[in-house]
Amino acid sequence: MSFAIDRSINEHGVDEAIVLIIGGLAKKFGKNYCFPSQEKLLYLLNRFYGVSICRRTLNYHLSRLTTGGYIHRKRRITKGRDGVLLFKSTLYFLCKQAMRWIARLRRLSACLSSRFTPTQGVVPIEKGVSRERAKEFIREINFRLNKPVLPASQ
């Protein structure tokens, strides 16, 4: 994925990470959908976000994202020649709400990377702008990033 997310994951952060993973997989293969297995989703969550959850918890988060209108899932079940049901991996589609959220993240990331340059690895300071204005901008960005994006569970 071309943008970063804070690695301190809370309840909303897991949902957001799942949306980013599904979006990244769909984009990687040039489709508007993807079909990773639950094991693959768990692996990617652990690898890229440091989140280690069980399969049941993943299903809870996927259900929440579905009811919240962020993703759409389509189970794929077919009958084999002998009449036995064959289960294939689920298709995941990102809904418009998730696409808008990812686009906002990309715009924010582009804004930060174009306007700021790292100064000795401490605080990013915009070229030609006072420290006051830079601190104000950083506070605004931190507020936007810490603001929950997904609705709380009822």
Q: 113 vs 154, which has greater pLDDT? A: 113
> Who contacts 138 (Cβ-Cβ below 8 Å, separation ≥6)?
123, 124
User: What are the pLDDT digits (tens) for 51-97?
Assistant: 899 999 999 999 999 998 999 999 988 888 898 999 888 999 999 98
What value does the mean pLDDT of the chain take? 77
Find the mean pLDDT for residues 125-143: 63
- 22, 14 contact by CB (below 8 A): no
Q: 81 vs 125, which has greater pLDDT? A: 81
Quick one: pLDDT band at residue 141, thresholds 50, 70, 90? low
| pLDDT value, residue 19 | 92
What pTM was computed for the model?
Answer: 0.65
d(CA 147, CA 126): 23
| pLDDT value, residue 3 | 41
114: left (phi over 0), alpha (psi -120 to 50) or beta: alpha
Q: Spell out the domains of the chain, with CATH numbers in brackets.
A: 11-107 (1.10.10.10), 118-148 (no CATH)
Residue 153 has pLDDT above 70, yes or no: no
Task: Enter the tokens of residue 61.
Answer: 């988060």
Q: Which residue has the tokens 């950083």?
A: 138
| pLDDT value, residue 59 | 95
How many Cα neighbours within 13 Å face the side chain of 87? 4
Give φ, ψ of 79 to 5 degrees: -100, 135
Q: Is the CA virtual torsion 109, 26, 95, 9 positive or negative? A: negative
| pLDDT value, residue 50 | 87
Find the mean pLDDT for residues 121-137: 59
Work out the percent of the chain whose per-residue pLDDT is above 90.
34
